[in-house]
């Protein structure tokens, strides 16, 4: 049985770069622009290392991974692992919030619908006769606007919205997993190189 050829850290980084170039995603300027806003919706646009809430937790986890007396390089690699792991937790929390978001199951009324509705009731009020109940007309207008705001999405449209957001999160998750796995490999390689007395990388 032949032993599997060990890939050097340099070769692994080259493979990772090549795989990164093959990754799918929006190609057009408009598509990339829309995609760039996806992370804002869930707060993922903030670099996790700059998140004031998560930064202390990242440093604590990095110190645990690195171990006591770790040098600067080992601690730096451990921090990359911790950042990726905390990013995964953040992404999975965002996924749970998608399923809990009732607004995804409701129609987002267009400006035109509201404009048409306003025009209708403005006409009713303008052309009201002396014996017409204006208070009643205004109340009906309010009820119509509320009903328009609370229409439920057709099932297929709501499902498309949910799937679209989940798909965006899946891409972030794959990226975070890739970052974590690379850092784990780097940590293993670093320890092996140190044990052999060789420089790293």
**Are 71 and 110 contacting, i.e. CB atoms less than 8 angstroms apart?**
no
Spatial CA neighbour of 96 closest among 24, 155, 31, 173? 173
Question: Average model confidence (pLDDT) for the chain?
Answer: 76
194 exposure class (CB count in 10 Å sphere: 0-12, 13-18, 19+): middle
pTM of the model: 0.56
Which residues lie across from 106 on neighbouring strands? 152
Flag whether pLDDT at 27 surpasses 60: no
Per-residue model confidence as pLDDT tens digits over 35-62: 444 444 555 656 666 677 778 888 999 9
How far is it, in rounded angstroms, from Cα 70 to Cα 152?
56
Flag whether pLDDT at 74 surpasses 80: yes
200 exposure class (CB count in 10 Å sphere: 0-12, 13-18, 19+): middle
């Amino acid at each position: 049985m032949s032993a599997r050829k060990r890939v050097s850290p340099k070769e692994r980084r080259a493979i990772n770069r090549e795989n990164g170039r093959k990754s799918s995603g929006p190609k057009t300027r408009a598509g990339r622009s829309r995609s760039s806003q996806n992370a804002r919706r869930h707060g993922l646009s903030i670099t996790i290392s700059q998140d004031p809430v998560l930064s202390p937790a990242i440093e604590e986890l990095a110190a645990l991974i690195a171990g006591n007396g770790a040098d600067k390089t080992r601690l730096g690699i451990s921090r990359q692992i911790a950042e990726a792991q905390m990013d995964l937790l953040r992404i999975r929390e965002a996924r749970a919030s998608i399923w809990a978001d009732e607004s995804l199951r409701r129609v987002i009324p267009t400006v035109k619908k509201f404009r048409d509705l306003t025009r209708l009731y403005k006409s009713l009020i303008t052309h009201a006769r002396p014996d017409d109940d204006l208070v009643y007309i205004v109340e009906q207008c309010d009820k119509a606007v509320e009903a328009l705001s609370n229409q439920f999405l057709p099932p297929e449209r709501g499902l498309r919205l949910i799937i679209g957001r989940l798909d965006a999160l899946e891409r972030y998750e794959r990226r975070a997993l890739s970052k974590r796995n690379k850092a784990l490999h780097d940590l293993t390689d670093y320890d092996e190189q140190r044990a052999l007395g060789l420089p790293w990388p």
